[in-house]
């Protein structure tokens, strides 16, 4: 039996992780559940899964939860200290990092230092601090197992001969605006961008999928997770989301992992690894299906190109790209900026950044905060005015 802690328990990945726990018939036990402010759902989850610790980052929400569950022997915590306490307890084996955004970095590092394995959904953490996170994992003998479907696919396709890999091919659905040109994209609204054709996910990653920034973040995520050069990572649009990614070996053999587009499969694999469990949420039926692959349109969707540029330059630049994107997505969702302005703004902020080595948490956080403030400033004053 594995004991797990779930950061982001009330979100899309968090709730699906709890479905896997339910289906695992005692293979998984929940030690702690953390979220931001969703008292109602966390209360329900606490009553069902009986963790030792429940955390709500928002202090008022944590106080409310404490009142509501005072009949249970559950410790209720709040804030970053609470999040960290939730992942370092002796009896935890694996921490599922399913919060959205760079906020997951500190608890991820704390978990690794406490020698916990990570089931990583929270890609922003690896984009912002890939070197530091991977080094901390190595120094502490911990594994980081991907939950992101593409990276889970690559992880499943890689055998132990990594030196024989020519490249990894990340697939992308293309999102709701596949085939659209820039002129048409200028009219995209929040409602349009929130409708993903294949996946039901949290709002932030859904917008990232619509802008292809999700794939951009995933290129950097793959670089760090698998220790590849950027030239060994490519992206291919595959609108059916059945092939979740591929690995090409030096002899031309390409190994692909397939499955229905259902995050419970990669979540389960991250938790069952190195085993596989006989739990199948939904069978893949290939008969009658057509699988297609096309090159991404980098003119209409420049995020992927930006990610390669920022990734190759390295240092604190990926953290800046990620932070600016987080601000832009929230501003777009709040109706403060237009769809296409997100690209322009992120590019401007990345261009202004003085890149430093990303060799300490302090430098990474400082770059992240600078990018957030600068992005906010540009949004407030108006693009092209500052």
Q: Does 148 bind ligand NDP (CB under 6 A)?
A: yes
Closer residue to ligand NDP, CB minimum distance, 204 or 330: 204
- Exactly one of 180, 199, 230, 281 binds ligand NDP (CB under 6 A); that residue is 199
230 interface partner picked from Mg ion, ligand NDP, none, CB below 5 to 8 A per type: none
| DSSP assigned state of 178 | T
Q: Closest by alpha carbon to 331, among 195, 211, 198?
A: 211
Cα angle 136-267-260, degrees, rounded to a multiple of 5: 140
- Look-up of token digits 């992240």: 368
Residue 224's closest CA among 135, 303, 346? Answer: 135
CA distance 295 to 67: 54
Residue 148 interacts with Mg ion (CB under 5 A): yes or no: yes
Q: Which of 143/348 has CB closer to ligand NDP? A: 143
User: Can you give the length of the chain in residues?
Assistant: 386
Neighbours of 106 (CB within 10 A): 18
Residue 110 binds what, of ligand NDP, Mg ion, none (CB under 5 to 8 Å, by partner type)? none
Candidate ranges 10-18, 25-33, 310-318, 364-372; the one touching ligand NDP (CB under 6 A): 10-18
Distance separating the N- and C-terminal Cα atoms of the chain: 56
DSSP state letter for 294: B
**Window 59 to 118, contacts with ligand NDP (CB under 6 A):** 98-100, 103
Question: Which residues make Cβ contacts (< 8 Å) with residue 99, sequence separation at least 6?
Answer: 7, 8, 11, 34, 36, 107, 122
Does residue 365 belong to the site contacting ligand NDP (CB under 6 A)?
A: no
User: 51 or 146, CB closer to Mg ion?
Assistant: 146
Q: Report what 257 binds from Mg ion, ligand NDP, none; CB cut-off 5-8 Å by kind.
A: none
Shortest Cβ distance from residue 377 to ligand NDP (Å)?
22
- Total residues in contact with ligand NDP, by rule CB under 6 A: 29
Give the nearest distance from C-beta 121 to Mg ion in angstroms. 9
Tell me if 221 contacts Mg ion by CB under 5 A. no
Structure tokens at 106: 């500190």
Q: Least distance (Å) from ligand NDP to the CB of residue 55?
A: 7
Task: Enter the tokens of residue 344.
Answer: 């322009």
Return the SS3 of 133: helix
- Nearer Cβ to ligand NDP, position 205 or 246? 205
Of residues 351, 366, 352, the one with CA closest to residue 319: 366
- Is residue 225 within the footprint of ligand NDP (CB under 6 A)? no
Retrieve residue 294's tokens: 């096309």
User: Segment contacting Mg ion (CB under 5 A): 78-86, 140-148, 307-315, 369-377?
Assistant: 140-148
Question: Which of residues 11, 174, 315, 318 is near ligand NDP by CB under 6 A?
Answer: 11
Q: Which of 63, 68, 26 is nearest to 45 (CA)?
A: 68
Contact letters (x/-) for Mg ion, 96-135, by CB under 5 A?
A: ----------------------------------------
Near ligand NDP by CB under 6 A: residue from 35, 111, 172, 207: 35
Q: In what order do the strands lie in the sheet with 75-77?
A: 75-77, 53-56, 28-35, 2-7, 94-97, 117-120, 144-146
Query: Of 196 and 378, which has the nearer Cβ to ligand NDP?
Result: 196
62, 55 Cβ separation under 8 angstroms: yes
Helices (H) and strands (E) in the chain, counts: 16, 11
Task: Give me the residues paired with residue 146 across strands.
Answer: 120
Q: How far is the CB of 365 from ligand NDP (least distance, A)?
A: 14
Q: Give me the residues that bind Mg ion (CB under 5 A), please.
A: 148-150
Q: Give me the residues that bind ligand NDP (CB under 6 A), please.
A: 8-14, 34-38, 57, 98-100, 103, 121-124, 148, 199, 201-205, 263
């Amino acid at each position: 039996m594995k004991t797990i802690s779930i950061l982001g328990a009330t979100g899309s990945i968090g709730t699906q992780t709890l479905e896997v726990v339910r289906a695992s018939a005692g293979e998984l036990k929940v030690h702690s559940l953390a979220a931001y402010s969703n008292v109602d759902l966390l209360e329900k989850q606490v009553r069902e899964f009986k963790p030792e610790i429940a955390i709500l980052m928002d202090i008022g929400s944590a106080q409310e939860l404490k009142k509501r569950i005072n009949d249970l022997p559950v410790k209720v915590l709040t804030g970053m200290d609470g999040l960290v306490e939730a992942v370092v307890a002796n009896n935890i084996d694996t921490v599922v990092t399913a919060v959205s955004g760079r906020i997951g970095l500190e608890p991820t590092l704390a978990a690794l230092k406490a020698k916990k394995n990570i089931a990583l959904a929270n890609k922003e953490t690896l984009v912002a601090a890939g070197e530091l996170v991977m080094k901390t994992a190595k120094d502490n003998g911990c594994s980081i197992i991907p939950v992101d479907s593409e990276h889970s696919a690559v992880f499943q396709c890689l055998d132990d001969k990594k030196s024989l890999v020519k490249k990894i091919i990340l697939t992308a659905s293309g999102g709701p605006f596949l085939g659209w040109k820039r002129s048409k994209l200028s009219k995209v609204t929040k409602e349009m961008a929130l409708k993903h054709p294949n996946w039901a996910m949290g709002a932030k990653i859904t917008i990232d999928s619509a802008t292809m920034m999700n794939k951009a973040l995933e290129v950097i995520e793959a670089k760090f997770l698998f220790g590849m050069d950027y030239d060994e990572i490519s992206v291919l649009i595959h609108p059916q989301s059945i092939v979740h990614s591929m690995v090409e070996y030096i002899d031309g053999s390409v190994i692909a992992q397939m499955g229905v587009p259902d995050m419970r499969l990669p979540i389960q694999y991250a938790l069952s690894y190195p085993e596989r469990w006989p739990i199948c949420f939904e069978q893949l039926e290939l008969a009658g299906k057509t699988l297609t692959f096309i090159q991404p349109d980098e003119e209409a969707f420049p995020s992927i190109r930006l990610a390669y540029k920022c990734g190759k330059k390295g240092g604190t630049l990926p953290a800046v790209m990620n932070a600016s994107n987080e601000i832009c997505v929230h501003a777009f969702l709040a109706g403060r900026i237009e769809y296409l302005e997100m690209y322009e703004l992120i590019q401007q902020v990345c261009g202004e950044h003085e890149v430093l080595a990303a060799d300490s948490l302090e430098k990474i956080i400082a770059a992240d905060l600078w990018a957030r403030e600068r992005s906010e400033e540009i949004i407030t004053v108006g693009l092209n005015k500052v």
